[in-house]
Structure 1
Amino acid sequence: MWKKQTLSSGPDHSLGATPILAFGLMKITGNEQVTRNSLQQINTANRQVAKTLLEKVHVDRLAVQAQETGSATTDINELLKAAALEGAALAEVKRALKDTNPDITVAGLETAAPKKLTELFKADGSNAPEIWKVAKKTPVADITATGAKAKEIDAVTGIETLQATMSYYMRAKAAELKKLEAELKKLKEDKENKKAEISEEKECNKAEEDKNECRKKTGCTYDENKNKTKCTLKKR
């Protein structure tokens, strides 16, 4: 398909009669075999002296790689500021607001959450380090220890341990909510039962001192020793 030819001029000319293909990715050797150029051969000093597209891309990639490596920061304060401006921070604020204000509307949440986020961390996230100074001393359950032990959250090391600690509290929260729901249900039932008892008590009281009438009423009892309201509801 390809025939050897000598290119006498141009950036891709080959005095050895080995034409370069695909912008330098492949070449045709002396025995007319198509082979791949080794990337190790690319040692162009900079983009200005790069001749082929492959060389230019190679130089650009090295520059990007150096920029990515050089721009990475390990400064905790800068990382905290950046975290405060991420979408995840806003999502957590929304979740917290929803937990503390169950009746808040979607529109209300969308308005209140950004305001609360700015109130907590400031518009540029600069208050995040100050909040962390307090938050990092919060005691949490030490899930790696035997028994009920605690340690400051700042002492939790390793992403897996941190995730497991968060899961522990999420399960505990779910269990607490379930308990509260059961208690609320019982309170409502007790309230309804109390209303029913009051209604039944009033119905018994209508018989006043009429013993026969009192005994006809379901759940009523007649006590002759009482001076007033001798017909009352039986105790349960």
Structure 2
Amino acid sequence: MGTSIGRSDADFNASQELITTKALANSARWKLIDSWILEILLPAKAEWEEAWKAYQNRKTRNSNIISAKNQARKKYEPVLRTLVATLTGDPLVTDTDLNSMGITGRNKKGGHIPAPATYPETEVKLPAPAKVELHFRDNGETGHAKPHGVRGAEIRWAILDTPPTDWDELLHSEFDTQSPFTLIFKGGERAKTVYFALRWENTTGEKGPWAEIQSAIIP
């Protein structure tokens, strides 16, 4: 995969601006993950742009400003390349879209994005009668950003009289790109037990391992 991300700082700045401007403008259409954008991409972008702006002033430039610029790029460039890899593997992003951002050499098989290796952990909240919210994040993480290349979570669930022994017993299947996922039940289903499990799915449709089956009493 080739990109227009240049080696010089000036070229790097120009290409990051081109890529992020297009990606942010089309984030809803391309179903980019809001939490990753807000928690990872935008802070790294802002830090770089502030450091780069300070570096442009030759009268005030000093070793601290140069170091801050270098550290900001060191932090931001891997994030930018993660965005490029995600866009390249997303079937919603056309070759024309990629070319307009200077991204070329698409891998048609999307092999550069691996199948998810982790699973979501889920916190259950019961905000109202007959309503169950599943707040999910990557296992072991505290933030809501999903793993690299992950588009969202598959949620399987079922109301059962006895605990299931296999995920195949969860007959209902849903998909959500952003936490939380909300289940709304009928009044006659209150006080019954709903069982559910989640797994990640990447932008090429490959699925990760299932989390353990959990349950909740419908309020």
Shorter-chain-normalised TM-score: which range?
A: under 0.3
Higher strand proportion (structure 1 or 2) = 2
Which structure has more relative contact order (CA 8 Å, sep 6+)? It is: 2
Who wins on radius of gyration, i.e. which is larger? 1
- TM-score scaled by length of structure 2: 0.23
Higher helix proportion (structure 1 or 2) = 1
